[in-house]
């Protein structure tokens, strides 16, 4: 350094010091102090204060040092003993579901909803019909029903839906999002009859002793309907997105995912963003069947930058179905019958292996990031095979590939993920919502190894974690809680050996989430130069008793230095 200064012209040295003084003297817009600051930065795990200027973090450290950035107009936020953490990065959800939760009936069982029997489900559908004044011929939609949790251990039948809604088509979506019950009017509108063959990778329930559809459709039998489900459009849809995004903001999420985006949804989200309405970053993943229209016939590629907080960050491919819906693909049979009563049932791949290979190759050839839905171990085998074929002899080449869910991954597959640079985005919230179901369907040993966060980290993987909203409620704090505690609805521990530490669980929804999108250099931890995406929590998840993490509240969400959501003060 001495030689450098000796060789530098005097004028250059003067300029250098002038610039240094300007940077050092530039006042912060905001300074946050007065409580624990968990940085998720191993080089500086904690701090006393953080300074923000022009949307970025400009100082992290002791209060004495950070307060040197205070100017006359600097706002100083006193945490009052509360905790500051990085903004939460969503590992996988469906942002467009914000419209569904505002326009459809919530038919989930407690604690996500209130339905405990078939009559409750029908009543919820009736309520949304009345609230939205859905006259004859209008679709009545519901979501979240779980037959395993209803008193009758079954969904409403086609006949029950016909009787309750004689003049309306009804679609009641399963909690997995991978299937639905339809009444006769809905089946007729979509042309599902006794002559309709069951497609490869799909399920069509039939009436006993006949080919007459009983209303149950899953996977590829439901996918064509799912892509055409009627709903709000245009200005109404944009208005619902505007109000609905608060669901993400109040959970502390500053980067969200739209995890299987259809072309019309891409267009609506772009219109919404271009109006300047988005208050958080949203990463869209066009569904593989939509890429020709989304990318105008070109090979798919990521958009490197956000435009008004929105960008395409990859492509979504689906390998199988849902374990709680018993459509996930396994190499061994379920312990229970299939969703349509199939015996010795293992589930099916969504598409034949050659089709999956071609899909993955198309994504890799374009350079887009591949996000693959896979739940059962047979589906994970299919992902690995498609990756091997599409990689052209270079399976270890880093491509950013993400195994979304990867719940029932085997240990040998986990090792292959590490060797081939595939990152899992796990789903530990399943331990609570569906852990008991998994024990019944797959047995204790497999259920205990779902979303194996501890084993993945032990071999050097950095898994993210997610809710898959609206499969489960959007709740990042509860996601952390389930990674640490792994308890089911009934109180069973689902895989004690796979429990995360609170810091590991926090990392999975911050810095490890940012890695999924290649954004770890600017998001996911509290460090100088990064975006000031931050969350103020009512307590510190690293120090409260682990079983009480779920009681922590998000009090304030800060996106690029600006408060975008704040909890209203409690009434006196």
CA 5 vs. chain centroid, Å, equals 52
Residues 380-427 have pLDDT tens digits of: 999 999 999 999 999 999 999 999 999 999 999 999 999 999 999 999
Q: Which segments of 429-501 are extended strands (E)?
A: 464-465
CA 149 vs. chain centroid, Å, equals 23
**pLDDT of 20 above 50:** no
**Where are the chain's structural domains?**
2-81, 285-301+314-460+473-524
Q: Which residues contact 449 (CB under 8 A, 6 or more apart)?
A: 408, 409, 411, 455, 495, 498
H, E, C per residue of 402-444? EEEECCCCCHHHHHHHHHCCCEEEECCHHHHHCHHHHHHHHCH
For residues 554 and 252, the answer to whether their CB atoms sit within 8 Å is: yes
Give the residue from 499, 417, 500 showing the smallest Cα distance to 459.
417
Give the residue from 555, 442, 458 showing the smallest Cα distance to 34.
555
Residues 188-228 have pLDDT tens digits of: 999 999 999 999 999 999 999 999 999 999 999 998 888 77
Helix (H) or strand (E) holding 298: none
Instruction: For the chain, give the mean pLDDT.
Output: 94
Cα 170 to Cα 43, 102, 180, 345, 356: the distances in Å are 55, 17, 10, 28, 32
Coil vs helix vs strand at 446? helix
Lowest mean pLDDT among 26-30, 362-366, 500-504: 26-30
- Provide φ and ψ at 32, rounded to 5°: -115, 130
What average pLDDT score do residues 540-559 get? 98
pLDDT at position 157, please? 96
For residues 321 and 329, the answer to whether their CB atoms sit within 8 Å is: yes
**pLDDT of 45 above 80:** yes
Lowest mean pLDDT among 15-29, 321-335, 450-464, 489-503: 15-29
For residues 91 and 285, the answer to whether their CB atoms sit within 8 Å is: no
The residue written with tokens 């904690």 in the block is: 46
* Residue 531 DSSP one-character state: B
For residues 566 and 559, the answer to whether their CB atoms sit within 8 Å is: no
pLDDT at position 572, please? 64
Give the residue from 450, 443, 435, 314 showing the smallest Cα distance to 375.
450
Tokens for 53, please give them.
């200027």
Parallel, antiparallel or unpaired: strands 370-374 and 315-318:
parallel
Q: Which CATH architecture has domain 285-301+314-460+473-524?
A: Alpha-Beta Barrel (3.20)
CA distance 87 to 248: 11
For residues 104 and 128, the answer to whether their CB atoms sit within 8 Å is: yes
Lowest mean pLDDT among 6-10, 324-328, 443-447, 503-507: 6-10
Tokens for 301, please give them.
């590629």
The residue written with tokens 């204790």 in the block is: 444
Give the residue from 295, 311, 308, 321 showing the smallest Cα distance to 257.
311
pLDDT at position 19, please? 32
Strand pairing partners for 359?
none
* Residue 381 DSSP one-character state: H
Q: Which segments of 189-271 are extended strands (E)?
A: 202-206, 213-219, 253-261
**pLDDT of 21 above 70:** no
Strand pairing partners for 557?
535, 565
pLDDT at position 15, please? 37
Q: What is 2-81's CATH topology?
A: Urease, subunit C; domain 1 (2.30.40)
Give me the percent of the chain exceeding a pLDDT of 90.
92
H, E, C per residue of 147-203? HHHCCCCCCCCHHHHHHHCCCCCEEEEECCCCEEEECHHHHHHCCCCCCCCCCCCEE
CA distance 202 to 220: 4
**pLDDT of 458 above 90:** yes
Q: Which residues contact 66 (CB under 8 A, 6 or more apart)?
A: 31, 33, 47, 48, 49, 50, 51, 59, 60
For residues 503 and 57, the answer to whether their CB atoms sit within 8 Å is: no
Strand pairing partners for 423?
402
Q: Which residues contact 501 (CB under 8 A, 6 or more apart)?
A: 484
What average pLDDT score do residues 494-510 get? 98
**pLDDT of 17 above 60:** no
Give the residue from 454, 389, 445 showing the smallest Cα distance to 426.
454
Give the residue from 545, 544, 437, 442 showing the smallest Cα distance to 492.
437
């Amino acid at each position: 350094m001495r030689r450098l200064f000796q060789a530098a012209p005097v004028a250059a040295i003067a300029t250098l010091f002038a610039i240094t003084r300007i940077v050092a003297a530039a006042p912060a817009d905001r300074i946050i102090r007065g409580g624990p600051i968990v940085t998720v930065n191993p080089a500086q795990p904690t701090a006393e204060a953080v300074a923000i200027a022009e949307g970025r973090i400009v100082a992290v450290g002791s209060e004495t040092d950070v307060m040197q950035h205070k100017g006359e107009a600097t706002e100083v936020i006193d945490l009052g003993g509360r905790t500051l953490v990085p903004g939460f990065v969503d590992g996988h959800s469906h942002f467009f579901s914000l419209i569904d939760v505002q326009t459809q009936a919530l038919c989930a069982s407690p604690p996500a909803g209130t339905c405990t029997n078939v009559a409750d489900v029908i009543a919820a559908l009736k309520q949304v019909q009345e609230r939205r004044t859905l006259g004859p011929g209008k679709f009545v939609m519901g979501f979240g029903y779980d037959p395993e949790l209803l008193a009758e251990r079954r969904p409403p039948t086609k006949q029950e839906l016909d009787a309750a809604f004689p003049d309306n088509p009804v679609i009641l979506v399963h909690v997995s999002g991978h299937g639905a019950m339809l009444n006769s009017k809905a089946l007729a509108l979509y042309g599902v009859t006794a002559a309709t063959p069951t497609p490869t990778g799909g399920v069509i329930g039939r009436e006993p002793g006949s080919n007459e559809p009983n209303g149950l459709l899953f996977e590829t039998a439901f996918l064509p309907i799912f892509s055409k489900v009627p709903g709000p459009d245009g200005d109404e849809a944009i208005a619902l997105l505007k109000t609905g995004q608060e669901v993400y903001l109040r959970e502390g999420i500053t980067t969200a995912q739209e995890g299987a985006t259809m072309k019309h949804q891409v267009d609506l989200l772009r219109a919404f963003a271009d109006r300047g309405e988005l208050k958080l970053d949203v990463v869209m993943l066009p569904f593989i069947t939509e890429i020709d229209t989304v990318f105008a016939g070109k090979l798919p590629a990521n958009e490197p930058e956000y435009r008004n907080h929105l960008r395409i960050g990859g492509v979504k491919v689906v390998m199988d179905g849902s374990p709680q819906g018993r459509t996930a693909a396994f190499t061994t049979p379920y312990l229970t019958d299939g969703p349509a009563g199939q015996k010795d049932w293992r589930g099916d791949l969504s598409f034949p292996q050659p089709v999956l290979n071609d899909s993955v190759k198309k994504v890799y050839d374009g350079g887009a990031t591949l996000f693959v839905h896979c739940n059962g171990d047979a589906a994970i085998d299919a992902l690995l095979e498609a990756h091997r074929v599409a990689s052209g002899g270079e399976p270890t080449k880093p491509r950013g590939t993400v195994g979304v869910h990867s719940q029932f991954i085997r240990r040998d597959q986990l090792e292959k993920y590490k060797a081939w640079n595939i990152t899992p985005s796990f789903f530990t919230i399943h331990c609570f919502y569906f852990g008991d179901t998994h024990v019944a369907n797959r047995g204790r040993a497999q259920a205990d190894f779902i979303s194996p966060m501890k084993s993945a980290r032990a071999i050097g993987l950095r898994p993210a974690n997610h809710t898959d909203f609206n499969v489960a409620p959007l709740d990042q704090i509860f996601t952390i809680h389930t990674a640490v505690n792994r308890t089911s609805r009934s109180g069973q521990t689902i895989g004690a050996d796979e429990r995360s530490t609170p810091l590991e669980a926090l990392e999975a929804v911050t810095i490890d989430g940012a890695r999924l999108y290649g954004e770890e250099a600017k998001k996911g931890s509290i460090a100088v130069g990064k975006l000031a995406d931050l969350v103020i929590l009512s307590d510190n998840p690293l120090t409260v008793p682990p079983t009480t993490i779920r009681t922590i509240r998000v009090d304030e969400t800060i996106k690029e230095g600006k408060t975008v959501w704040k909890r209203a003060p409690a009434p006196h």
